[in-house]
Amino acid sequence: MEASLGQEKRMNAQLNRKKGTSAWKKIKQQKWLFLMILPGFLCTLLISYGPMFGMYMAFINYSPGGGSFFYQFFHSPFIGFTWFEYFFNSGDFYPIMRNTLAQSLLSLLIGFPAPIILALALNEVRQGLFKRVAQTVSYLPHFVSWVIAANIIITMLSSQGPLNQLLMALHFIDKPILFFQNGHMFWWIIGFSNTWKDMGFNAIIYLAAITSINSELYEAARVDGANRWKQMLNVTLPALVPTITILLILSLGNILNAGFDQQYLLQNTTILQYSDVIDTYTYRYGLQNGMLSYGAAVGLFKSAVAFVLVVSVNAWSRRVNQQSLY
């Protein structure tokens, strides 16, 4: 770390001799500021930009045997887009994309309205113990790891678990539903699990937006004879529309990020054909099966498409809302 620190100083010095003395003076003045950037800069360089450089792996036929990583990296044969073609033409492409999009969209369909409804409901309740408890408990699932969440979800949905017992007691079913042995159910399980985990936390942003509503609007509505339902519909909800729009657009940009933890931890081999998403696929092929270059290619495909999506979606949201991400 100290070596590269010295190196950077030297580089800066060289750079500024060319630029002239005023910039050099400024850098000298700001040397402490630059020094404070350094730890974060080096971390980001290694952890975030290193892998971007490593994406070159997707275009070679990397074999781990023989020399060190870098030796193998530069001496493996360059094969262009072969791995990408292999992925698109393999029978895996369609089911993987289908599962990813289906799980994402289903999570959005259930998980997007849920926090809005929760925030609206919380807003109607008088400030007090019940409200505080309800709100605090509602975002507990957000703070536990997916490992704990998966443990809980699998227990709840197991053949002898509470949900099956409840459904049987209510005579909706005669024998337990085997939730995790039915592939079609997995998409719904992911949708509801995501919603369960983040509904309370996502409601916070809507609650914050609600508190900024001018109370005179409610008074005016009351004078016009609006009851609470009408007030919620005609005052609170319209005030949330900008927030709703921007969050919806942003989540569309994240559509390929169906997740990894939840699928990996909740899936099992019997339903893999429905549970497998891009990220779990990359992990299984790249790390578990050791097809490093292929995994890198699939990962690069996802990163590239996701980046294009996010950038275009941000441009869109800027046009809609005059608000943007950066």
The distance of closest approach from Cβ of residue 101 to other proteins in the complex, given in angstroms and rounded to an integer, is 19
Task: Tell me which residue has tokens 């529309």.
Answer: 241
Which positions ≥6 away from 323 have C-beta within 8 Å?
A: 242, 246, 317
Cα–Cα distance list, 198 to 52, 121, 137, 185, 208 (Å): 30, 16, 12, 20, 16
In total, the chain counts a number of residues equal to 326
**Least distance in Å: CB of 221 to other proteins?**
11
Query: What CA–CA distance (Å, rounded) separates 174 from 198?
Result: 32
Q: Pick one of 5, 11, 13, 137: the residue that binds other proteins (CB under 8 A).
A: 137
Nearest distance in Å: CB 26, other proteins:
5
When asked if residue 140 is in the footprint of other proteins (CB under 8 A), the reply is yes
Q: Is 188 in the site for other proteins (CB under 8 A)?
A: no
Cβ-contact 285, 298 below 8 angstroms: yes
Binding positions for other proteins, 96-115, rule CB under 8 A: none
Q: Does 7 bind other proteins (CB under 8 A)?
A: no
Q: Which of 10, 17, 26, 75 binds other proteins (CB under 8 A)?
A: 26
Q: Which is nearer to other proteins, 187 or 281 (CB)?
A: 281
Question: Of 49, 13, 29, whose CA–CA distance to 5 is shortest?
Answer: 13
Residue 244 has which token pair? 């709703």
Note every long-range contact of 121-126, with CB atoms under 8 Å and residues 24 or more positions apart, other chains counting: 122/203, 122/207, 123/207, 123/210, 123/232, 123/236, 124/228, 124/232
Of residues 303 through 322, those in contact with other proteins by CB under 8 A are: 303, 307, 310-311
Please pick, from the candidates 87, 146, 187, 274, the single residue that binds other proteins as defined by CB under 8 A: 146
Angle between helices 162-169 and 146-157 (to 10 degrees): 30
Contact with other proteins (CB under 8 A): which of 60, 96, 108, 122?
Answer: 122
Say whether residue 54 binds other proteins (CB under 8 A).
Answer: yes
What is d(CA 257, CA 278) in angstroms, rounded to the nearest whole number?
8
Q: Phi-psi bin for 145: left (phi > 0), alpha (psi -120 to 50), beta?
A: beta
Q: Tell whether residue 53 is a contact of other proteins (CB under 8 A).
A: yes
Residues 6+ apart with CB under 8 A from 220: none
Q: Is 130 in the site for other proteins (CB under 8 A)?
A: yes
Verify binding: residue 118, other proteins, rule CB under 8 A. Answer: yes
CA angle 233, 237, 240 (to 5 degrees): 175
Q: Does 34 bind other proteins (CB under 8 A)?
A: yes
* # of chain residues touching other proteins (CB under 8 A): 102
- Least gap, CB of 48 to other proteins (angstroms): 4
Q: How far is CA 8 from the centre of its chain?
A: 35
162 is a site residue for other proteins (CB under 8 A): yes
The residues in 267-286 that bind other proteins, with binding defined as CB under 8 A, are 268-270, 279, 282-283, 286
Q: Does 49 bind other proteins (CB under 8 A)?
A: yes
**Sites for other proteins among residues 198-257 (CB under 8 A):** 199-200, 204-205, 207-208, 227-229
Report the nearest approach of other proteins to the CB of residue 33 (Å): 4
Of positions 11, 13, 109, 125, contacts other proteins by CB under 8 A: 125
Binding-site member from 5, 11, 109, 133 for other proteins (CB under 8 A):
133
Confirm or reject binding of residue 260 to other proteins (CB under 8 A).
yes
Tally of CB atoms within 10 A around 229: 9
| By CB under 8 A, residue 89 contacts other proteins | no
- Closer residue to other proteins, CB minimum distance, 155 or 214: 155
